Amino acid sequence: MCSPEHFAVEYAINPWMDVTTPVDAELAVKQWDRLRETLVGLGHDVYLLTPGAGLPDMVFAANGAFVVDGTVYGARFKHEQRTAEAAAHRAFYESQGWRFIAPSETNEGEGDFAYLPDAHGGLILAGHGFRTELPAHAEAQEALGRPVVSLRLVDPRFYHLDVALASIDDSNVVYYPGAFSAASQRVLAQLFPDAVVADDSDALAFGLNLVSDGLNVVLNSEATRLAGKLKAAGYHPVPVELAELKKGGGSVKCCIAELRH
């Protein structure tokens, strides 16, 4: 995770960002800190990346890389405003002794990649259409040695896979069908017949931008309907308030890069 102490909406690179809407930086830090405390309280280790001045989106740490079984496939951001974030993430992983593979193709890390270790022998779901380019899916497959299923995003409000779909355990997902092309919807229905399916109110509340440890599902407190569906499916919803960071187009998952040893 990376503190939002430099968080601001100084430019607009997704439909959620409005440079005329004021951001309360102090409140953003408080809400983010509560998210961090929630994860620690659930028994998880949280490593902190040093925020960079002039990089207001660095709080969205999920976008900096994608890690599977100790191998890190690095990010290459689409927009120049975020380009410098990639080097900070690389430095972190290399300092920790992880095997780092630098990308040639444009991709935004866990923003557009999700991993399900027990689904079909270990499966990567990968989004494209707005940020990550399709050739990055093939590059990730070569880097990580796992089959990659490409899913086309068609609604600019859901510009990353992680605002439209999330893994809720090692073999199942929750997703919002309307974010995907008709063909991708069919692929998801075939791969995950028992998926939790969200509606548009859940999706617009950033409810899909969640993290789960297989039991506890940490999600935006606005997504009350989705919390109910997850509870009915046997999971334990843990709501957190992240209204300030939503102004940047992100929520729980965007703030968290998962370290898969």
Closest CA to 115 of 248, 236, 261: 261
Domain 25-253 in CATH 3.40.50.2300? The answer is no
Mean of pLDDT values over 203-220: 98
Q: To the nearest 10°, the Cα dihedral for 86, 143, 124, 110?
A: -10
Residues 82/75, Cβ–Cβ less than 8 Å: no
- What span, in angstroms and rounded, lies between the C-alpha atoms of 60 and 150? 23
137 annotated active-site: no
CA angle 209/230/114 to nearest 5° reads 40
Q: Spot the catalytic one: 120, 160, 255, 261.
A: 160
* Arithmetic mean of pLDDT, 172-195: 98
Q: Is 90 exceeded by the pLDDT of residue 149?
A: yes
Q: Which helix (H) or strand (E) holds 116?
A: strand 113-116
> Are the CB atoms for 161 and 107 separated by under 8 Å?
no
pLDDT band at 15 (very low <50, low <70, confident <90, very high): confident
Helix (H) or strand (E) holding 134: helix 134-144
pLDDT value of position 14 = 87
Task: Number of helices (H) and strands (E) in the chain: give both, helices first.
Answer: 7, 12
105 forms bridges with which residues in the sheet? Answer: none
Instruction: Spot the catalytic one: 89, 254, 255, 261.
Output: 254
Q: Which uninterrupted H or E stretch holds 204?
A: helix 200-204
pLDDT of 229 higher than 90: yes
Residue with tokens 């995907």: 180
Backbone φ and ψ for 130, nearest 5 degrees, come out as: -130, -45
Higher pLDDT: 83 or 17? It is 83
Pairing of strands 211-212, 123-128: unpaired
Residue 254 among the catalytic residues: yes
Structure confidence at residue 130 (pLDDT): 97
Q: For the segment 98-121, what is each residue's pLDDT rounded down to a tens digit?
A: 999 999 999 999 999 999 999 999
pLDDT tens for 187-207 read: 999 999 999 999 999 999 999
Let me know: does 165 contact 153? Beta carbons within 8 Å.
Answer: no
What is the sign of the dihedral through the CA atoms of 2, 250, 155 and 13? negative
